[in-house]
Amino acid sequence: MIGPDGTIETVYDDKLLDLTKEMGGELAQVCRASSVEFERGTSHNGWTVRAAYDPTLAIRLHPVTGMIGPSRKGMLIYYRTREKALLAERKFFWDLLPPKQGVK
């Protein structure tokens, strides 16, 4: 995603550093969007996806809509494999980022 000021926001890739240098720019900031960790719940165990800046924001089953996605309410989703959790992390990447500073 390219912002109005020319700032590029994207999922990190090691090749970005080389590309940025080739374009005459620099990598200004890298933010971790989320954490994928194995958790043991009261009735479930598995891999979870939580926002790095706020661990209460996690991929959950929303209690009202019944949809799976980032939420602070609802049942936490436990993935059987780390790979499945990483796919979910990528799907909801933009929703797990912290809010932009100064943007209303």
pTM here is 0.72
Q: What is the pLDDT of residues 67-98, one digit of tens each?
A: 999 999 999 999 999 999 999 999 999 899 88
Percent of the chain past pLDDT 90, that is, above it, reads 53
Across the range 3-18, mean pLDDT stands at 70
DSSP assignment of the chain? -B-TTS-B-----THHHHHHHHTT---------EEEEEEE-SS-EEEEEEESS-TT-EEEE-TTT--EEEESSSEEP-BSSHHHHHHHHHHTHHHHSPPPTT--
pLDDT-based confidence at 103, cuts 50/70/90?
A: very low
Q: Say yes or no to pLDDT of 56 above 90.
A: yes
